[in-house]
Amino acid sequence: MAIATEQVATRTPLTKEERMVIVASSVGTVFEWYDFYLYATLAPFFATLFFPKGNDTAALLSAFAAYAAGFLVRPFGALVFGRIGDLIGRKYTFLVTIVVMGLSTFGVGLLPTFSSIGWWAPIIMVTLRLMQGLALGGEYGGAATYVAEHSAHDRRGYNTSWIQTTATVGFFLCLGIILSCRAALTKEAFATWGWRIPFWMSIFLLGVSVWIRLKLHESPVFTKMKAEGKTSKAPLSDSFLKYPNNKYALLALLGATAGQGVVWYTGQFYALFFMQITLKLDYQTTYMLIGASLLLGTPFFIFFGWLSDKIGRLKIILAGCLIAALTFFPLFKALTHYVNPALETFQNTTVITVAGDPKDETFNLFVGPWSKFSELDRVNDFFGKQGLNFTKVAPEPGKKVVASIQGKNPTTGEVTTTRVEGWSAASEGALKKALTDLGYPKEADKSKVNYPMTLLILFIFLIYVTMVYGPIAAFLVELFPTNIRYTSMSLPYHIGNGWFGGMLPLIATAIVALKGNIYYGLWYPIIVALMTVVIGFLFLKETKDRDISTYQH
């Protein structure tokens, strides 16, 4: 591998052009993330709007599946737009992506619900999500490459880290607008039509973003390369079919972006869903806590980007993955303790068992008209949506499923055991009564929430996010040559974030439903993060000293 390095004697001041490039790229990318996260934040709410009723976990999985569809298609957007970006330029490529993104987001705000047009509602929604995913697949690589190619060698990490803040800022903007709408409208009004307002607002943000990006000039590194006739004529085959470029694309995925993706989505999205759905904290308090943690944590994207210019990108990314993997279990258990202590106490004093044949269980990731749910699945679903752990035991002869709840009545002090066979409206009612009699907390008591400790835990999650995400753009830009950079970095980034990260809420929810433990979904990000640590440590090298204008494998 030939590596050219730039010798920088002193740190030069940030130029006016660099500031303009950072601001313009970042503002446009904020809007992209705002669009994409609207659905992510409303996914639990959309479960009742766009999918059939009758199984809450199935509807939630369906909503997460539609959410994940946008992530699954992102690598294809990376291939399409990455190729265009390496052939004709960075500027016009990510100008196209923002238009596609904005129009498809506006379209979600016009969608009829399941009650109006049946299964056509989720089909159209998924189509719009796919358009969003394709656009976002071309956006990030273009913005990261564009900023890096405008940056001085000694602050690529710092400059590109501003792009990393846009994901959090976009998410924060999204939360703020949703909260404002829900505060201004009644619960019924928001459920009927008010949820559409944040999607409609995207058309105004689109106009501002396009106007800003039209003011940009092409990357000087790309302009020089094109003038010299050194652009790639086949970016896809040069990136993924020729050695050693294809080796580095694979290593970038498994040794950097996969772990970065799961740490990011666990710290931001899964924590939000866990508090709201599992711990039964009301949406407003959940949004405010997540928003406060984002506000406190966002500057650390810049800090770790700056630090990566000093000590290197890779070691910071891998350290974030390792620390997160080692602490997710205790931190999420602490979250339960501080957010809903009554639920924790109920878990510790109540023994719940479900007797059934594992052959009757299904692991449903993508729920649709083809999905079938056994009586055992429905009992698992019942306890899962209550946020309760339960133990699975061997089936009882001749019975499909038997649920048993044993605990102490808080009023009489008497230890009682309730057995319920099968699944029906009557059995569901019996299970609900048994839980109520034992003092099951149906929602978190806001007066018992330990807000400082909850915020501290969420802030720690954000520190993990900033460690893995702050330096990643500079690392990926430096890993690949200029003539295939847009294509080569975009694919591993979007597989790592779109597939490994974007699938996290869906996979974790399905694992919890199958295993009967509210924490078991964490095994997915932990395993992926540890894989990244091992592969990145063994097979990748530091990149911060490479001259990206001349570097080639």
In angstroms, the CA 501 to CA 359 distance is: 29
Sequence-separated (6 or more) residues with CB below 8 Å from residue 459: 293, 296, 297
* Band of residue 519 on the pLDDT scale cut at 50, 70, 90: very high
Mean pLDDT of the 227-241 span: 83
Token couple for 36: 């994409």
The pTM is what?
0.85
The pLDDT score that the predictor gives to residue 479 is 92
Q: Read off the pLDDT of residues 289-314 as tens digits, 9 standing for 90 and up.
A: 988 998 899 999 999 999 999 999 99
* Band of residue 361 on the pLDDT scale cut at 50, 70, 90: confident
In angstroms, the CA 249 to CA 247 distance is: 5
More confident residue, 165 or 61: 165
**AA identity, residue 469:** Y
Sequence-separated (6 or more) residues with CB below 8 Å from residue 339: 275, 279, 281, 444, 449, 450, 454
Q: Read off the pLDDT of residues 103-142 as tens digits, 9 standing for 90 and up.
A: 888 888 888 888 888 878 878 888 888 888 888 888 777 7
In angstroms, the CA 441 to CA 346 distance is: 8
In angstroms, the CA 135 to CA 507 distance is: 24
The pLDDT score that the predictor gives to residue 8 is 40
**AA identity, residue 449:** V
Sign of CA dihedral 284, 285, 289, 295: positive
In angstroms, the CA 470 to CA 305 distance is: 5
Is residue 196 within 8 A of residue 172, CB to CB? The reply is no
Alpha helices in 340-398, H assignment, sequence order = 341-349, 375-385
* Band of residue 6 on the pLDDT scale cut at 50, 70, 90: very low
* Band of residue 455 on the pLDDT scale cut at 50, 70, 90: very high
- The DSSP 8-state label assigned to residue 552 in this structure reads B
Q: Read off the pLDDT of residues 55-103 as tens digits, 9 standing for 90 and up.
A: 565 666 666 667 667 778 888 988 888 888 888 877 778 788 888 888 8
The pLDDT score that the predictor gives to residue 439 is 92
Q: Read off the pLDDT of residues 218-230 as tens digits, 9 standing for 90 and up.
A: 777 777 877 877 7
Percentage, residues of the chain above pLDDT 70: 91
Highest mean pLDDT among 41-55, 198-212, 391-405, 504-518: 391-405
Strand locations in 296-414, DSSP E? Answer: 351-356, 391-393, 401-408
**AA identity, residue 5:** T
Token couple for 159: 């400059």
- Whether 28 shows a pLDDT value over 80: the answer reads no
Edge-to-edge strand list for the sheet holding 401-408 = 391-393, 351-356, 401-408, 415-421
| CA-closest candidate to residue 135, choices 93, 106, 107, 170 | 93
The pLDDT score that the predictor gives to residue 7 is 39
In angstroms, the CA 120 to CA 487 distance is: 34
Which of 28-32, 86-90, 103-107, 346-350 is the least confident region? 28-32
| CA-closest candidate to residue 400, choices 379, 384, 426 | 379
The pLDDT score that the predictor gives to residue 549 is 72
Number of C-alpha atoms within 13 angstroms, CB side, residue 279? 30
Mean pLDDT of the 162-176 span: 82
Query: Which domains are seen in the chain, by residue range?
Result: 16-338+448-539 (1.20.1250.20), 343-437 (3.30.360)
- Whether 523 shows a pLDDT value over 70: the answer reads yes
- Whether 32 shows a pLDDT value over 60: the answer reads yes
Sequence-separated (6 or more) residues with CB below 8 Å from residue 541: 314
Q: Is 470 helix (H, G, I), strand (E, B) or coil?
A: coil
In angstroms, the CA 133 to CA 139 distance is: 10
Whose structure tokens read 């924590």?
Answer: 271
Please give the biggest Cα pair distance in the chain: 86
What is the bridge-based pairing of β-strands 401-408 and 351-356? antiparallel
- Whether 4 shows a pLDDT value over 50: the answer reads no
Taking CA atoms, 161 is separated from 74, 80, 107, 215, 399, in Å, by 21, 25, 31, 22, 58
In angstroms, the CA 195 to CA 421 distance is: 40
* Band of residue 5 on the pLDDT scale cut at 50, 70, 90: very low
The pLDDT score that the predictor gives to residue 2 is 37
